[in-house]
Structure 1
């Protein structure tokens, strides 16, 4: 009898033949979020926050291809099994601080709403030999090697502040709201 992979100690079997979840479970999870976290955000922040984000398939495929190709340019020994994507919950700045979004293709109607920021990860052993998925920037050649060990933004941030240098990341999804909810199933 084959069992489904389970989340144990923060790991999940990385290869599943077909990604499925019962529709009723999806609805329950979405309802749980909307009735708890989203309701609290909307009430306490007096807003109508986003409850979903949409990325077109081409954007996601390109982001994945960029992670793979930029990584391979610097370190061809890194395999796709070593790479991943972390989805950070994030929030756009308020209208008063919208100048932070200069040169970003996002309108002020997104101000204060939550979003996702997608950041590449690379598997690397920590000092105890445990394999962990560290955030890293494939565009930073210094993020790959130091004493034959991968450095990551997560590891570097304790030693040095983050810079305004470009980092490979993704955040240009469509938020609902402000976009129409008519397209949603859940």
Structure 2
């Protein structure tokens, strides 16, 4: 599997999003929504390492190829929680949730859910292994972006 994508395709994909979904969101919600989320590499590596470690605590035979991350599109509430900047209100973000393969299906995986086989996060309010709160653009500056 190659991790190489032509820049023209990247630009086309980003332009499609901005011309369609982002435009509709900005018009319908009367906001300037985020169009990217940035996470530093150590944070991402630590999250992957934690997924691997927590999965091994539950199942010593779990293979790395059976683990993954699902990216959920999400939006901050109108009044963000205390650790989230106020100017993130109503803007797009990403929430990353671990997945674990079972019978060729990649299920959401929560090693902290003791009431199940740790697959499929329940509707009950419990802690979950997840990653959120990267740097949003906007409100952060877009001069560092190429696309």
Q: TM-score, normalised by structure 1?
A: 0.75
**Could you tell me how far apart the structure 2 residues matched to 1:107 and 1:143 are?**
35
Tell me what 1:175 maps to.
136
Q: CA RMSD in A?
A: 1.4
* Aligned counterpart in structure 2 of residue 78 of structure 1, from 51, 54, 62: 62
What SS does the aligned partner of 2:102 have?
strand
What SS does the aligned partner of 2:143 have?
helix
**Structure 1: segments with no counterpart, 5+ residues:** 1-15, 126-130, 145-150
* Aligned counterpart in structure 2 of residue 40 of structure 1, from 24, 31, 35: 24
**Could you tell me how far apart the structure 2 residues matched to 1:58 and 1:142 are?**
31
Q: In 2 relative to 1, CA 49–185 (structure 1 residues): closer, same or farther, beyond 3 Å?
A: same
* Aligned counterpart in structure 2 of residue 108 of structure 1, from 70, 83, 86: 86
Q: Is 1:153 aligned to residue 120 of structure 2?
A: yes
Tell me what 1:68 maps to.
52
Q: Is the CA contact (8 Å cut-off) linking 1:136 and 1:152 kept in structure 2?
A: yes
What SS does the aligned partner of 1:183 have?
coil
* Aligned counterpart in structure 2 of residue 50 of structure 1, from 10, 22, 34: 34
**Structure 2: segments with no counterpart, 5+ residues:** none
Tell me what 1:3 maps to.
none
Runs of 4+ in 1 over 4 A off after TM superposition: none
Q: Is the CA contact (8 Å cut-off) linking 2:111 and 2:129 kept in structure 1?
A: yes
Instruction: Please give the per-residue CA displacement for 1:142-183, whole angstroms capped at 9, x wherever unaligned.
Output: 443xxxxxx5125xx4xxx322x2100000210000100000
> How many equivalent pairs are there?
147
Q: Is 1:31 aligned to residue 39 of structure 2?
A: no
Tell me what 2:107 maps to.
134
**Could you tell me how far apart the structure 2 residues matched to 1:80 and 1:43 are?**
42
Q: TM-score, normalised by structure 2?
A: 0.94
Which structure's CA Rg is the greater one? 1
